């Protein structure tokens, strides 16, 4: 803390009550990356248990989720913390929250499916458990691959693979 004491512009001592309180507020306002990861995993697991009790919740355990902290690229839209779960066969689940002032936090669950062309992935936004089962029925004949279409190109084949956070 000596370097803080050396700063002439700060009108309070580093060991003062005010310094303590300001540090406390800074820590409270910004969750650590570890807290963001934990929260992302907990939120994803909770969503799956409550919205997909007969399908995903049967096979994806809370500990299967791997959380990632928020991305705050300069000048770009913020990405909330997210979590991904591996389903095998090249398929992933990706969960994040879409937060707006009007609607609050909404769960966004996406199934990331490799394309039959082998060069990309299709992102399928999931809304309900029935929705998921319909999608899985469609994917079954191709063993969990999304049939490639050029028009419109939906597999993002210019990107070789999802990044670590599950986005493309
Ligand atoms: Zn493709």
DSSP structure string for 130-148: HHHHHHHHHHGGGTS-BPP
User: Residue 163: what pLDDT?
Assistant: 52
Distance in Å, CA 90 to ligand 1 centroid: 14
DSSP symbol at 115: B
Are the C-beta atoms of 111 and 91 separated by less than 8 Å?
A: yes
Are the C-beta atoms of 116 and 138 separated by less than 8 Å?
A: no
User: Residue 5: what pLDDT?
Assistant: 55
Distance in Å, CA 59 to ligand 1 centroid: 27
Q: What is the mean pLDDT of each run of 10 residues along the chain (168 residues)?
A: 59 91 80 91 97 97 95 69 96 93 92 92 95 96 91 67 49
Distance in Å, CA 88 to ligand 1 centroid: 19
Distance in Å, CA 79 to ligand 1 centroid: 26
């Amino acid at each position: 803390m000596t370097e803080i004491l050396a700063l002439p512009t700060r009108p309070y001592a580093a060991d003062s009550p005010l310094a303590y309180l300001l540090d406390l507020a800074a820590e409270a306002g910004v969750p650590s990356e570890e807290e963001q990861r934990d929260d992302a995993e907990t939120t994803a697991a909770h969503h799956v248990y409550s919205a997909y009790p007969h399908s995903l919740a049967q096979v994806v355990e809370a500990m299967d989720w791997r959380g990632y902290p928020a991305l705050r690229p300069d000048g770009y839209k913020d990405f909330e913390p997210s979590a991904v779960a591996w389903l095998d066969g090249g398929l992933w689940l990706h969960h994040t929250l879409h937060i707006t002032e009007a609607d609050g936090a909404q769960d966004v669950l996406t199934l990331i499916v490799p394309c039959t062309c082998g060069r990309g992935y299709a992102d399928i936004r999931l809304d309900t458990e029935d929705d998921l089962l319909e999608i899985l029925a469609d994917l079954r004949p191709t063993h969990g691959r999304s049939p490639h279409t050029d028009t419109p190109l939906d597999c993002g084949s210019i990107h070789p693979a999802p990044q670590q956070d599950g986005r493309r």
